Amino acid sequence: MTVPKLALSDNTGEALAKTRADVVVIGTLQGEDGPLLAAGAAAVDAAFDGRLAGLLATLGASGKAEEVVKVPTLGKLPAGVVLAVGLGKEGDAVTPEQVRRAAGAAGRALAGTDRALVTLSELDLQAAVEGTILGSYVFTAYRSEKGDAPVAKVDFASPSAGTAREHKATLKAAGTIAEAVLVARDLINTPPNDLYPASFADRAKKLAEDNGLEFEVLDEKALKRKGFGGILGVGGGSSRPPRLLRLAYKPAKAAKKVALVGKGITFDSGGISLKPAANMDHMTSDMSGAAGVLASVVLAAKLKYPLEVVAHIPLAENLPSGTSYRPGDVLTMYGGKTVEVLNTDAEGRLVLVDAMVRAAEENPDYLIETSTLTGAQVVALGNRTAGVMGSDDFRDRVAAIMQATGENGWPMPLPEELRADLDSRLADLANVTGHRWGGMLAAGIFLREFVADGLDWVHIDIAGPSFNTGSPWGYTGKGGTGVPVRTIAAVLADIAANG
Q: Please check whether residues 46 and 88 belong to one and the same domain.
A: yes
Q: Is 494 helix (H, G, I), strand (E, B) or coil?
A: helix
Residue 175, domain member (yes or no): no
pLDDT in tens, 303-320: 999 999 999 999 999 999
Number of domains observed in the structure of the chain = 2
Domain membership of residue 174 (yes or no) is no
Residue 176 lies inside a defined structural domain of this protein: no
Looking at the annotation, which residues are catalytic? 275, 349
Any idea what the Cα angle at residue 454 is, between residues 453 and 456, rounded to 5°? 115
Which domain covers residue 438, as residue numbers?
A: 185-498
Binding site: which residues?
263, 268, 286, 345, 347
Annotated binding site for Mn(2+): 263, 268, 286, 345, 347
User: 72 and 22, same structural domain?
Assistant: yes
Q: Are residues 269 and 347 located together in one domain of the fold?
A: yes
pLDDT at 76: 93
How would you classify the pairing of strands 467-468 and 409-411?
unpaired
Instruction: Give the count of beta carbons closer than 10 Å to the beta carbon of residue 344.
Output: 26
Q: Are residues 256 and 364 in the same domain?
A: yes
Beta bridge partners of 157: 9
Q: What is the rounded CA–CA span in Å between residue 35 and residue 93?
A: 16
- The answer to whether residues 152 and 206 belong to one domain is no
**Does some domain include residue 111?**
yes
Q: Considering the domain boundaries, does residue 197 fall inside one?
A: yes
Q: For residue 23, what is the domain's CATH number? A: 3.40.220.10
Are 53 and 202 found together in one domain?
A: no
Q: Are residues 142 and 189 in the same domain?
A: no
- In eight-state DSSP terms, residue 274 is P
* Model confidence pTM above 0.95: yes
Q: What is the mean pLDDT of each run of 10 residues along the chain (499 residues)?
A: 92 86 97 93 95 96 97 95 96 93 98 98 97 98 95 96 96 98 98 98 98 98 98 98 98 96 98 97 98 98 98 98 98 98 98 98 98 98 98 98 97 97 98 95 98 97 98 97 98 97
Would you state the pLDDT for residue 98?
97
Domain boundary among 107, 140, 157: 157
Residues 357, 402 within the same domain: yes
Note the pLDDT of residue 407.
97
CB atoms within 10 A of CB 462: 28
The reply to whether 167 falls in a domain is no
Q: What contacts 107, CB < 8 A, 6 or more positions away?
A: 131, 132, 133, 134, 135, 136, 137, 150, 151, 475
CATH number at residue 246: 3.40.630.10
- Check whether residue 391 and residue 260 sit in a common domain: yes
Spatial contact of 79 and 47, defined as CB atoms under 8 Å apart: no
Q: Are residues 113 and 214 in the same domain?
A: no
Whether residue 473 is found in the same domain as residue 329: yes
- At 147 the pLDDT is 92
Q: Which H helix or E strand runs over 71?
A: strand 68-72
Burial classification of residue 72, based on how many CB atoms lie within 10 Å of its CB (0-12 exposed, 13-18 middle, 19 or more buried)? exposed
